[in-house]
């Protein structure tokens, strides 16, 4: 069971590095702080900013990298 949670955490980190974008409001209002990294349709709780990209971006990413993700090669 713990392996499933670790795998989900690894997948979340992988998606953040490949699809994540920094919150533009964090960058504008807090230039010295680290901005929140947003996935498509994710939102920054501090500034109430929602990433306008559709969630289908994640599905497209999965379809492009399905072989690599299944084998654990990223």
Query: Where do the domains of the chain lie?
Result: 23-74
Q: Is 21 helix (H, G, I), strand (E, B) or coil?
A: strand
> What pLDDT does 74 receive?
54
State residue 39's pLDDT score.
93
pTM of the model as a whole: 0.74
Place of tokens 């807090």: 30
pLDDT along the chain (74 residues), means of 10: 87 90 96 95 94 89 74 56
User: Residue 21 has what pLDDT?
Assistant: 95
Closest by alpha carbon to 11, among 45, 58, 43, 51? 58
């Amino acid at each position: 069971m713990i392996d499933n949670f670790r795998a989900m955490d690894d997948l979340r980190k992988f998606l953040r590095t490949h699809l994540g974008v920094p919150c533009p409001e964090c960058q504008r209002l807090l230039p010295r702080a680290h901005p929140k990294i947003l996935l498509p349709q994710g939102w920054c709780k501090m500034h109430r900013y929602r990433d306008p990209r559709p969630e289908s971006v994640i599905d497209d990413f999965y379809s492009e990298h399905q072989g690599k993700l299944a084998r654990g090669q990223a």
